[in-house]
Amino acid sequence: MAQALSLPEVPAPKYGDRLQDKVVIVTGAAQGIGEAIVACFQAQQARLVIADIQGEKVEQVAAHWRDRGAQVYAQALDVSVREQWRAVVDLAIARFGRVDVLVNCAGVNVFRDPLAMTDEDWRRCFAIDLDGAWFGCREVLPHMIEQGTGNIINIASTHSSHIIPGCFPYPVAKHGLLGLTRALGIEYAPQGIRVNAIAPGYIETQLNVDYWNGFPDPQAERQRALDLHPPRRIGQPVEVAMTALFLATDEAPFINAACLMIDGGRSVLYHD
Ligand SMILES: NC(=O)c1ccc[n+]([C@@H]2O[C@H](COP(=O)([O-])OP(=O)(O)OC[C@H]3O[C@@H](n4cnc5c(N)ncnc54)[C@H](O)[C@@H]3O)[C@@H](O)[C@H]2O)c1
Extents of the domains making up the chain: 23-206+236-263
Residue 40 has what pLDDT? 96
Higher pLDDT, 120 or 21: 120
CA distance 270 to 262: 17
pLDDT at 10 over 50: no
Residue to probe by mutation, ligand 1, list 134, 155, 180, 236, most atoms within 8 Å of CB: 155
| Three-state secondary structure readout of 20-50 | CCCEEEEECCCCHHHHHHHHHHHCCCCEEEE
For this structure, is 211 an active site residue? no
Residue 9 has what pLDDT? 46
| Active-site entry in 170, 188, 202, 211 | 170
The 10 Å Cβ neighbour count of residue 218 is 18
Which atom of ligand 1 is least distant from the CA of 207? Answer: 19
Q: What is the mean pLDDT of the chain?
A: 95
Asked if 24 and 45 count as a contact pair (C-beta separation under 8 A), the reply is no
Task: Give the containing element (helix H, strand E) for 163.
Answer: none
What residues flank ligand 1, with Cβ below 6 Å? 27-28, 30-34, 52-54, 77-80, 105-108, 128, 132, 155, 157, 200, 202-203, 205-208
The reported pTM is 0.96
Which CATH architecture describes the domain 23-206+236-263?
3-Layer(aba) Sandwich (3.40)
Which atom of ligand 1 is least distant from the CA of 158? Answer: 6
pLDDT at 138 over 70: yes
pLDDT at 116 over 60: yes
Which atom of ligand 1 is least distant from the CA of 200? Answer: 6
pLDDT at 135 over 70: yes
pLDDT at 133 over 70: yes
pLDDT in tens, 33-80: 999 999 999 999 999 999 999 999 999 999 999 999 999 999 999 999
The one-letter amino acid at 186: I
